[in-house]
Amino acid sequence: MAEQLLSISPASVLAQMAAVAPLPVVAPSQSGGSKAKYPFYLGGLSATCAASITHPLDLTKYRLQTATVRQGMFTTMVTTARAEGITTLWHGITATWLRQFLYSLTRFAVYEDVKARLTKPGTQPTTATLATSAALAGAIAGVIGNPAEIVLVRMCSDLNRAPAARFNYSNSVSGLAKITRTEGMGTLFLGLGPNVVRSVVMNVAQLGSFDLFKSLLNSAGMQEGSALTFAASFAAGTTATTLCAPVDVIKSRVQNSSTGEGVLSVIRSSIKQDGPAVFFRGWTPAWIRLQPQTTLIYFFLTYFQGVVDEKREAQLKTTDARLV
Mapped to the 3 state alphabet, what secondary structure does 71-134 carry?
A: CCHHHHHHHHHHHHCHHHHHCCHHHHHHHHHHHHHHHHHHHHHHHHHHCCCCCCCCHHHHHHHH
- Between CA 65 and CA 158 the distance in angstroms is 12
Instruction: For residue 56, give the amino acid letter.
Output: P
What's the topology of domain 39-201+241-323? Mitochondrial carrier fold (1.50.40)
Q: What is the pLDDT of residue 204?
A: 87
Residue type, position 166, single letter:
R
Contacts of 247 (CB under 8 A, 6+ apart): 194, 197, 198, 201
> Taking the chain (324 residues) in consecutive chunks of 10 residues, what is each chunk's mean pLDDT?
43 43 37 63 90 87 72 80 84 89 90 90 84 93 93 82 83 92 92 87 78 81 79 82 84 72 82 85 80 81 87 85 69
Closest CA to 175 of 191, 162, 188: 188
Whole-number pLDDT of residue 4: 42
How many other C-beta atoms are found inside a 10 Å radius of the C-beta of residue 49?
23
Q: Are 99 and 52 in contact (CB under 8 A)?
A: no
| Cα–chain center distance at 15 | 22
pLDDT for 77: 83
Question: Which residues lie closer than 8 Å to 323 by C-beta, 6 or more apart?
Answer: none
Give the integer Cα–Cα distance in Å for 316 and 22: 12
User: Would you state the pLDDT for residue 97?
Assistant: 92
Boundaries of every domain in the chain: 39-201+241-323
Question: Taking a C-beta distance cutoff of 8 angstroms, is the pair 62, 153 a contact?
Answer: yes
